[in-house]
């Protein structure tokens, strides 16, 4: 380890997988002294990373630290101002996208980059055919390649289904299959387990170990630090565009890795807002039923309460949230807010009743990516800022945007910056700001910190606590057990569409939640 860099504390985290890498082999890829500047802002400064065949290298850091920029430079999307890249020991000033692909460098991006109107099989094999400059494409002849990789992963993807019909989890798996079907020597996995169940993560890690045995170098980018320590042999940490720590994974634990990423101690202890149980519920759900999704769902949400709704992927937790917001129409049951019955299957009725919804897929469902931060913040509350029927009040609009931009600590050059330019954590803050601008009485959040770094997660959870203290009711759908323990007054566990457990008080502990989820 470089003595000039921040030294990680020897760790006690899970041991890395014992997979024999190619001993004595030279690095397949080295980055030395890379610097990148965007509009006068230094994104990377003197950054280095070395990738060895047959080893998993974790690239860690908070959102906005420079990880994505480094990946884009290695994959040829961006050109650095300084530094060099060594490919099999041969120095290059930079790589082009074509050179990177031909060198076997593959990137699985966080936003999947799939073709929604094509089938799963076509999404898996068509990019490889295009890269090989094949003039004719036969779906029938290429389909076995897709079938092979799906079977190798042990997945149950429907190869003939259009990608636009898939869940977030299955789109993630399709993107992973697409990268692995090609003869890759270096694979970057950017948040590959975000929407995967525990068993799917285990299958992915098993595949990672097989790829290691073939001599593939893998770079694992994840905010799930326990997974980082489980799968990686080497770790590099960036903070504010600079390299702050690097070394073998067994020299880190969760605490030292978190400190290297943030430069501070992060408090994940249980802090919940006290709730008055004697007042009328803010939200009441009674006997909600939708065949094939959930059955007889009933619960109350008190003013100022943060209620967790959890379960394994496919348990029905997401469908319950969608029904509460009017995206799905239940067959029977009632939803009331402040004693007022909400018309089922109507988003407008839900919003009018004071329900806000932060969806699971913020990139496609929660944001206008090409619009500015200010446009996104105000998009859901135009009527509240209107003067007459057509015009918006510039003063009230500016006040709302400025207040929420500051309160949520959105990190951007200005409120006019396009949302597409933001890191995952900051994009999530913009979604939150959009709904807080509507002043909802009930805020439903589906995976509010998915793909968000540990520092931003802590800040987002604190924002939710502050909203609860102001009397808002918060329903949080999450499978992040430490997050539930840290934040929630009560936790409801869903299995096969039914609420099978209602946890409160001392029962809200990680072992108990995990036990009920897996039962």
Domain limits, the chain: 29-262, 283-518
Report the interhelical angle of 424-436 vs 454-469 (nearest 10°): 10
pLDDT of residue 38: 86
For domain 283-518, give the fold. Rossmann fold (3.40.50)
46 Ramachandran zone, left/alpha/beta (phi>0; psi -120 to 50):
left
pLDDT of residue 69: 92
Q: Would 29-262 and 283-518 be classified into the same CATH topology?
A: yes
Distance of CA 4 to the CA centre of its chain: 32
pLDDT of residue 364: 62
d(Cα 397, Cα 508) in Å, to the nearest integer? 41
SS (H, E, C) 295-344: EEEEEEECCCCEEEEECCCCCCHHHHHHHHCCCCCCCEEEEEECCEECCC
String of DSSP letters for 442-480: EEEEESTTTT--HHHHHHHHHHHHHHHHTT-EEEEE---
Residue ranges of the alpha helices (H) in 166-197? 168-180
pLDDT of residue 314: 79
d(Cα 473, Cα 349) in Å, to the nearest integer? 18
Burial of 217 (0-12, 13-18, 19+ CB in 10 A): buried
Residue range 29-262 forms a domain whose CATH class is alpha beta
String of DSSP letters for 276-289: -TTSPPSEEEEEEE
Distance of CA 10 to the CA centre of its chain: 28
pLDDT of residue 135: 66
Q: What is the pTM for the complete model shown?
A: 0.67
CB 510 within 8 Å of CB 486: no
Q: What is the mean pLDDT of each run of 10 residues along the chain (519 residues)?
A: 40 40 72 91 94 95 86 94 92 86 84 86 84 69 86 84 84 81 85 73 82 89 86 94 95 90 77 84 96 96 96 87 95 95 95 90 72 88 77 86 86 87 81 89 89 78 91 92 90 94 91 82
The torsion of the CA quartet 144, 145, 146, 149, rounded to 10 degrees, works out to 120
Q: What are phi and psi of 269, to 5 degrees?
A: -70, 165
d(Cα 243, Cα 473) in Å, to the nearest integer? 41
Please report, for residues 87, 159, 186, 225, 474, the alpha-carbon distance to residue 237 in angstroms, rounded to integers and kept in the order given. Answer: 22, 38, 19, 12, 34
pLDDT of residue 479: 83
């Amino acid at each position: 380890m470089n003595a000039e860099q921040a030294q990680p504390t020897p760790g006690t985290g899970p041991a890395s997988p014992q997979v024999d890498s190619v001993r004595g082999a030279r690095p397949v890829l080295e980055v030395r002294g890379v610097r990148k500047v965007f509009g006068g802002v230094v994104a990377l400064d003197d950054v280095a990373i070395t990738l060895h065949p047959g080893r998993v290298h974790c690239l860690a850091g908070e959102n906005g630290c420079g990880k994505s920029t480094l990946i884009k430079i290695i994959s040829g999307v961006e050109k650095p101002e300084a530094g060099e890249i060594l490919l099999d020991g041969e120095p290059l000033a930079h790589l082009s996208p074509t050179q990177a692909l031909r060198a076997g460098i593959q990137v699985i991006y966080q936003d999947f980059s799939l073709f929604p109107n094509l089938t799963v099989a076509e999404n898996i094999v068509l990019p490889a055919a295009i890269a090989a400059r094949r003039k004719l494409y036969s779906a029938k002849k290429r389909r076995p390649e897709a079938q092979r990789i799906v079977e190798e992963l042990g997945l149950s993807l429907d190869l003939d289904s259009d990608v636009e019909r898939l869940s977030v989890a299955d789109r993630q798996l399709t993107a992973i299959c697409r990268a692995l079907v090609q003869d890759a020597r270096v694979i970057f996995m950017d948040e590959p387990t975000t929407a995967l169940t525990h068993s799917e993560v285990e299958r992915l890690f098993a595949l990672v170990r097989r790829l290691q045995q073939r001599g593939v170098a893998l770079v694992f980018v994840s905010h799930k630090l326990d997974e980082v320590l489980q799968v990686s042999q080497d770790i590099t940490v960036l903070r504010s565009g600079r390299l702050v720590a690097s070394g073998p994974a067994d020299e880190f634990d969760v605490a030292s890795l978190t400190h290297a990423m943030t430069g501070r101690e992060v408090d994940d202890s249980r802090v919940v807002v006290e709730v008055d149980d004697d007042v009328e519920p803010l939200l009441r759900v009674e006997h909600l039923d939708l065949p094939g999704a959930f059955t007889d769902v009933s619960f109350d949400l008190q003013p100022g309460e943060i209620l967790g709704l959890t379960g394994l992927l496919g348990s029905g937790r997401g469908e319950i949230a969608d029904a509460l917001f009017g995206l799905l129409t239940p067959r029977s049951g009632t939803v009331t807010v402040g004693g007022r019955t909400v018309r089922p299957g109507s988003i407008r009725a839900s919003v009018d009743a004071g329900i806000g919804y932060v969806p699971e897929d913020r990139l496609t469902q929660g944001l206008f990516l090409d619009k500015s931060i200010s446009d996104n913040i105000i998009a859901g509350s135009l009527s509240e800022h209107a003067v007459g029927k057509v015009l918006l009040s510039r003063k009230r609009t500016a006040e709302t945007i400025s207040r929420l931009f500051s309160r949520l600590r959105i990190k951007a050059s200005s409120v006019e910056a396009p949302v597409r330019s933001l890191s995952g954590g900051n994009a999530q803050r913009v979604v939150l700001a959009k709904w807080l601008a509507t002043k909802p009485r009930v805020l439903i959040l589906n995976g509010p910190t998915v793909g968000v770094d540990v520092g931003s997660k802590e800040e987002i959870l604190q924002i939710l606590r502050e909203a609860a203290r102001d009397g808002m009711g918060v329903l949080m759908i999450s499978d992040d057990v430490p997050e539930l323990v840290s934040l929630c007054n009560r936790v409801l566990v869903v299995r096969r569409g039914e609420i099978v457990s209602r946890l409160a008080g001392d029962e809200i502990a990680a072992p108990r939640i995990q036990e009920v989820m897996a039962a």
